[in-house]
């Protein structure tokens, strides 16, 4: 991998922190997602079922003494 100058790396980092990058990234994501959905449908795929990402746990019992 090629090492770039610190000046270039700082400029790139500053670019990533700008709202223009966020807008471009969102647009690119939308294009990729639409292409994926079109391919998925063309192949006869059905949408995947929603799954739980996390599960809430009950609070600890009151019987446990806390210091």
**Do the beta carbons of residue 42 and residue 34 sit within 8 Å?**
no
Angle at 34 between CA 13 and CA 39, to 5 degrees: 125
pLDDT at 9: 93
Checking if the pLDDT of 63 tops 70, the result is: no
For residue 24, how many other CB atoms are within 10 A of its CB?
12
Q: For the purposes of burial, counting CB atoms within 10 Å of the CB of 19, is it exposed (0-12), middle (13-18) or buried (19 or more)?
A: exposed
- The pLDDT tens digits of the residues spanning 31-60 come to 999 998 889 889 998 876 778 777 788 888
């Amino acid at each position: 991998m090629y090492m770039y100058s610190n000046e270039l790396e700082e400029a790139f980092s500053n670019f990533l922190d700008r709202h223009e990058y966020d807008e471009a990234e969102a647009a690119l994501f939308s294009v990729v997602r639409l292409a994926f959905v079109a391919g998925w449908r063309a192949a006869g795929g059905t949408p995947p079922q929603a799954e739980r990402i996390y599960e809430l746990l009950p609070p600890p019992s009151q019987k446990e003494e806390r210091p």
